[in-house]
Amino acid sequence: MYDAVIIGAGITGTMLAKDLSRYQLKVALLDKENDIANGATMANSAIVHTGYDPEDGTLKAKLNVAGCRLYEQLCKDLGCMYQTVGAWIAAVGDEEEAKLDILADRAERRGIPYEWLSGEEARQQEPNLNEQVSKVLSFPTTAIIYPWEVAIACAETAVKNGVELYLNSEVTKIDETETGYTVHTPDREFETKTVIDAAGIGADQIAHMVMKDPGFEIKPRKGEYYVLDHDAKFVNHIIFPVPSDKGKGVLAVPTVHGNTLLGPNSDYVQGTVDTGSTVQGLDYVRANITKTMKNVPFYRTIRTFAGLRPSSSSSDFIIEEALGHPGFILAASIESPGLASAPAVSLYIIDLLKKTLTFTEDPDAVMTRKAPVVLKELSAEKRNELIRQNPKYGRIVCRCEQVSEGEIIDCLQGPCGARSIKGVKKRVRPGMGRCQGGFCEPLVLEILARELHKDPQEIVLDGLRSNILEEENR
């Protein structure tokens, strides 16, 4: 009998799995995908918002403010990237400037550091800021992360502490029993005292398996982006327009690896699998980024992508025990700032679970993780030493991102190791650069086949049936 079954291995589910692994509990983490963090956690702006944006009195406001304050230490503990770059809200004209006062007032009351800059002062630091920008509200403690790195690190920590991870395990049915719940997947059944529905855009479908009327409906909202090459170096800070009814608007965001993201738009879509970029969406980004920015180097675009926000009929996070279903916890409608709030969301869920479970610390739990080797960040001396020990670190497979064979082999290790081309790309970045895998993908495929003892034709791009090679032709 499990104490908890977590459905969904995005940032919400993996963070919770990590935190539960501190205790003497039997926990399973399930995801329908072939890798951790393949949902909203994989396609977002990667910003650890400080919490000035959500409306007063919401769970979003409470958990965003609390969650972001835990992130820096969390990233240190888990060996993940965390860069404080600061966020600017750029106002154009008197009407927008007045809206900045509302955000500053919220920040003041929530203890969030902020500063004011005139348009001129701001342009001295950000030469690509549009001339129309008349005033800037700056949140200097805003940070950026590598979102799926954090989710993978959380899952790894959880699994090392005994949490069982089941990928390719779509939950299809849940029965309520005398002692809790039976969670059904095509291959297994899990008897459990509690269930946590952290299924992102699938959260309403999971809720319907237990509740007659969950009282909410997921309405996925697409956000599309341009990714600019490293050396485009377009912005130093995250630049937001003044938020509107449609959300936070189209931003320019530096990434932890030196790229720039431009986006997103915000359009409701039908279905839960529509993650393709669209001409309309990207045109919207192009048109709207010019509100705050000039000289936008779209010609330096190396990729476009889209993510689906797990928005719902509620404007707030829905994190509660389902009425009449003890031990069935909803973690639904986790749209932005779900990433920034995740550490606090997890602790909030643990408080809800205390009604059903007893929490005794496991003295053997290890809540830290050693960061993997990133060759290009090492000094020449350390690199040489490593290459002497293992010559595979001396063979560069991805020229754009300077990723070695040794790093690729490292990322395949363990139960949370990569099992697909995309899994390798998410962990150590071959294919993330200018050529988008044109040169390195066949080499990564070869390494995967060799190290996983598989036939090259069995190697998949991402999901179980996304094989790349169809047949041997010579």
- Active-site amino acid positions: 49
Q: How far is the CB of 118 from ligand FAD (least distance, A)?
A: 27
Query: 333 burial class (0-12, 13-18, 19+ CB within 10 angstroms)?
Result: buried
Instruction: Name which position in 25, 46, 207, 252 contacts ligand FAD (CB under 6 A).
Output: 46
Q: Do residues 119 and 288 make contact, with C-beta atoms less than 8 angstroms apart?
A: no
The contacts of residue 389 (CB under 8 Å, 6+ apart) are none
Q: Which range binds ligand FAD by CB under 6 A, 71-79, 210-218, 337-345, 381-389?
A: 337-345
| Contact map string, positions 397 to 426, toward ligand FAD, x by CB under 6 A | ------------------------------
Q: Token pair for residue 247?
A: 């959300």
Q: Compute the least distance from the CB of residue 397 to ligand FAD, in Å.
A: 27
Q: How far is the C-alpha of 69 from the C-alpha of 49, rounded, in Å? A: 10
62 binds ligand FAD (CB under 6 A): no
Complex with ligand FAD: residue 63 or 133, whichever CB lies closer:
63
Kindly list the distances between the CA atom of residue 142 and the CA atoms of 51, 216, 244, 267, in Å, as whole numbers in the listed order. 9, 31, 20, 26
Interface residue with ligand FAD, options 18, 22, 49, 426 (CB under 6 A) = 49
Stretch that binds ligand FAD, among 46-54, 276-284, 355-363, 397-405 (CB under 6 A): 46-54
Q: Are strands 396-398 and 403-404 parallel, antiparallel or unpaired?
A: antiparallel
Question: If you count DSSP H runs as helices and E runs as strands, how many of each does the chain have, helices first?
Answer: 12, 22
Q: Under the criterion CB under 6 A, does residue 7 sit at the interface with ligand FAD?
A: yes
43/322 with CB nearer ligand FAD = 43
Pick from 41, 260, 333, 346 the residue near ligand FAD by CB under 6 A. 41
**Residue of 180, 281, 338, 437 that binds ligand FAD (CB under 6 A):** 338
What does the radius of gyration of the chain's CA atoms come to, in whole angstroms?
A: 22
Burial group, residue 299, by CB count within 10 angstroms (0-12, 13-18, 19+): exposed
**Structural tokens at position 47:** 């910003």
CB-nearest residue to ligand FAD = 338
Percentages helix, strand, coil for the chain (3-state, rounded to 5) are: 35, 25, 45
Cβ at position 347, least distance to ligand FAD in Å: 15
Token representation of residue 446: 């070869």
Site for ligand FAD in 180-219 (CB under 6 A): 198-200, 202, 206
Q: Which of positions 121-150 make contact with ligand FAD (CB under 6 A)?
A: none
Give yes or no for residue 8 binding ligand FAD (CB under 6 A): yes
Query: Can you tell me whether residue 339 is helix, strand or coil?
Result: helix
Piece of 9-17, 418-426, 430-438, 461-469 that binds ligand FAD (CB under 6 A):
9-17
Smallest distance, ligand FAD to C-beta of residue 384, A: 38
Distance of CA 369 to the CA centre of its chain: 18
Asked if residue 40 binds ligand FAD (CB under 6 A), the reply is: yes
In angstroms, what is the minimal distance from the CB of 451 to ligand FAD?
25
Cross-strand bridge partners of residue 244: 247
Smallest distance from the beta carbon of 166 to ligand FAD, in angstroms? Answer: 9
Residues 438-457 that bind ligand FAD (CB under 6 A): none
Q: Is the dihedral of CA 347, 353, 355, 361 positive or negative?
A: negative
* Among the residue ranges 24-32, 77-85, 96-104, 428-436, the one whose residues contact ligand FAD (CB under 6 A): 24-32
> Is residue 333 a contact point for ligand FAD (CB under 6 A)?
no
Among 308, 330, 352, 424, binds ligand FAD (CB under 6 A): 308
Q: Give me the sign of the Cα torsion angle 23, 160, 81, 9.
A: negative
Burial class of 361 by CB neighbour count within 10 A (0 to 12, 13 to 18, 19+) = exposed
CA dihedral 35, 39, 42, 46 (to 10 degrees): -140
**Contact 63/50 with Cβ under 8 angstroms?**
no
Nearer to ligand FAD, 304 or 390 (CB): 304
* Cα–Cα distance, 336 to 48 (Å, whole number): 10
The site that binds ligand FAD (CB under 6 A) totals a number of residues, namely 41
CB nearer to ligand FAD: give 91 or 285. 285
List contacts with ligand FAD (CB under 6 A).
7-13, 30-33, 38-41, 43-47, 49, 170-171, 198-200, 202, 206, 223, 264, 307-310, 334-340
